[in-house]
Structure 1
Amino acid sequence: MGFIMTRKLLVCAASVAALAFASAAYAADLPAYEPAPQVSAPVSSFTWTGAYIGAQAGYSWGDTNLGRVKPKGGVFGGYAGYNYQFDASPVVVGIETDFNWANIDDKAGIAKASTDWTGATRARIGYAFDHFLVYGAGGLAYADREVKASGFGKDSKTALGWTVGGGVEYAATDNIVARVDYRYSDFGKDNFKLNGASTRNDYTENRVMAGVAYKFGW
C-alpha cells in the first residue's frame, strides 16, 4: 500500500511540474507588452510681446454742427506700438500711436469743413486666442481742422479730443500681423474766426481702418 501511495505522489508531482513548465514556455512565447507612446498636444511658442510698426488705410465719416456739413473721405498712414503678453496668460496690454494723411471734407451751401491729417495715441488691452487677438483701445486724438465759408474766409485749428474703439488682429507668422480696427473720436468744440466773426464748431468722427504690421522679435 505504501508503494502505491508513493507512486501516486510521484505521478502527481511530475504532472504539476510538467504543467508549470508548459505554462512558462507559453508565457515566454508571448510578445512583450509595451505601453502606447504618449502624444502630447503641441504647445504654441508664439507671443504677442514685442514692438511693431505698420501701414494702414481706411475710410472716415463724421459730423459737425456746421449746417448739413458731414465730412468724409479716405485716410492712410502708419502706426507703431508695443505689446506685452503676461506669462501663461491670454491678456495682452500695449501702447500705440499713429499718424495719417487724410482727404476728409464736405460742403453744404457756403460752408465747408475739411481735415488734412489725423493721429492718436492709445492704450490697448486685449485677449489672445493663440494667433488671434481681440482688443479695445482708447486715448488722445488729434487732427487738423479747417472751416471755410464763401465770402467770409477760412480758419484752421489743431483739434484735440478723445477716442475709443477696438479691433481684431491675426498673426499670419511670428512677424507679420494683419488687423481691422474701428474707432470713434470726439474733438469737442473749437472757435473759428471767419472775417472777424467767431463761430464755435464741433466735430465727431467714425473710422474703419485695415493695416499690416511687422512685429519685431523679443
Structure 2
Amino acid sequence: MKKLHSRKMVAVFALALSSGAAMAADLPHYKAPPPPPPPMWTGFYVGLNAGGTWGNSNAVWTTSAPIFALGGGAATTLLAASSALGASAVSPGKTSGFIGGGQIGYNWQFYNSFVAGVEADIQGVAASNSNTTAGTAVGAFPFIGAAEVLVTGIAASKRLDYIGTVRGRLGWLFTPTLLVYGTGGLAYGGVSVSTGITQFNNDCAQFPGACLAPAAFSSGAFSDTRVGWTAGGGLEWMFWPNWSAKVEYLYYDLGNVSYSAGVLATGGDTLFAGAIAAAVVMQSHTRFNGNIVRAGVNYHFNWGAPPVVAKF
C-alpha cells in the first residue's frame, strides 16, 4: 500500500513539472533592446575642395579734385577743373575664376538627426580683373584761339589672391547619410588693387609745332589681408564608410578698400608751355565681395561608427 502511494506521489510530481515546463514555454520571451549604434557623423574630418568664384562689386572708382592752378586765373582754374574731370572715372570689369584648396573640421551628432560642427578652410584663387577706362576733357582758353585738350587714360587692376573661412555649421539629417546644413562665420582673404593714370595736354591740331607739355603720370595701389564675414549652406552625403562628398554655396564680404592714386601734375602746352599749369589729387576705392560655389570630399576619423550603407 505504501509503495502504491509513493508511486502515485512520484507520478503527480512528474506531471506538475511537465505542466510547468509547458506553461513556461508558452510565455512570451522579452529581449533587451540592442544598444544604439555610435553616431556616424561625430568626429574630426579633413578634405579637399574645388569650384568657382565671381565678384559682386567689380568696379574700381576713381575721383579727383583740383589742388593747384597756376596763378589762380580763369584759364588755369578751368584747366585744373578739366584735369580733375578727366581723371575721375569708373573702371568696370568682371572678376571670376577657379578656386581650389582644403578644409578641416569637427562634427557632433546629437538627437540622432542633428549635426553641429566647426570648419576651417583656405583656397587659392586663379582670378583677376584688369580693365582700362579712357576719358577726354576739353577746356577752351582765350589764347590766340587755341584750345587746351586733355586726354586721360585710367588703368585699374583688381585681384583676390586667396580666401579662407572659419565657420560654424548646423544641419539636419534628411536621411542617415544625407546632411542638409547652413553655415556662417569669419572670412579672410588676400586682396590687391591698383590704379594708373596718364594725362596728355595736346592741341597739336591747331599748333603742330607747339606740343611741348610732357605727359603726366600718377598711380596708387593697395595690397593686404582683409577680414570680413561669410554665410551659406550645402549638402553632404556619406557615400562610403568614413567618406563623404559635399556641394556648397558661400557669400563672402571683405569690405571696402580706399587708397590714394597720387597727384597728377599737368603741364601747359600752348598756354603756359612747359610749365606745371594745374595739379589734382586722386582717390580710388572698391569693394571685395562675391560668391563661391564648390564641391568637395571629406575623410572622417570616426573609427567607432558602423559600416555605412548609402541609401536615399
- Structure 2 counterpart of 1:102: 125
2:40 is aligned with 1:47 = yes
**What RMSD in Å do the two structures reach over aligned CA positions?**
2.2
Structure 2 counterparts to residues 28-43 of structure 1, below 5 A: none
2:159 is aligned with 1:114 = yes
Of 101, 106, 119, the residue aligned with 1:82 is 106
Question: In the alignment, is the contact (CA less than 8 A) between 2:161 and 2:190 conserved in 1?
Answer: yes
Tell me the CA shift for residue 63 of structure 1: 2.7
Letter aligned with residue 222 of structure 2: D
Letter aligned with residue 71 of structure 1: T
Of 52, 62, 66, the residue aligned with 1:59 is 52
2:254 is aligned with 1:187 = yes
- Structure 1 counterpart of 2:114: 91
Tell me the CA shift for residue 204 of structure 1: 1.3
Give the stretch that moved more between structures: 183-192 or 196-205: 196-205
- Structure 2 counterpart of 1:205: 290
Structure 2 counterparts to residues 7-46 of structure 1, below 5 A: none
- Structure 2 counterpart of 1:32: none
What is the total number of aligned residue pairs between the two structures? 178
With a CA cutoff of 8 Å and minimum separation of 6, indicate the structure with the bigger relative contact order: 2
Tell me the CA shift for residue 200 of structure 1: 2.6
> 1:194, 1:84 → 2: CA distance?
50
Query: Any stretches of 5+ residues in structure 1 without a counterpart?
Result: 1-34, 36-42
Question: In the alignment, is the contact (CA less than 8 A) between 1:46 and 1:131 conserved in 2?
Answer: no
Inter-CA distance 63–108: structure 2 relative to 1 (3 Å threshold): farther
Question: In the alignment, is the contact (CA less than 8 A) between 1:156 and 1:192 conserved in 2?
Answer: no
State the TM-score, normalizing by the size of structure 1: 0.75
Aligned structure 1 segments of 4 or more residues deviating by more than 3 angstroms: 43-46, 193-198
- Structure 2 counterpart of 1:157: 224
Tell me the CA shift for residue 187 of structure 1: 1.4
2:221 is aligned with 1:175 = no
> 2:47, 2:262 → 1: CA distance?
42
Question: In the alignment, is the contact (CA less than 8 A) between 1:153 and 1:194 conserved in 2?
Answer: yes
Residues 144-177 of structure 1: CA deviation (Å, up to 9, x unaligned): 1110223414321211111100100011122111
Of 166, 188, 209, the residue aligned with 2:233 is 166
Inter-CA distance 83–138: structure 2 relative to 1 (3 Å threshold): same
Tell me the CA shift for residue 44 of structure 1: 6.9
Tell me the CA shift for residue 107 of structure 1: 1.8
- Structure 1 counterpart of 2:97: 73
Query: Any stretches of 5+ residues in structure 2 without a counterpart?
Result: 1-27, 29-35, 61-90, 133-154, 198-218, 264-281, 304-312
Residues 185-213 of structure 1: CA deviation (Å, up to 9, x unaligned): 11111223434654232121111011011
Letter aligned with residue 83 of structure 1: N
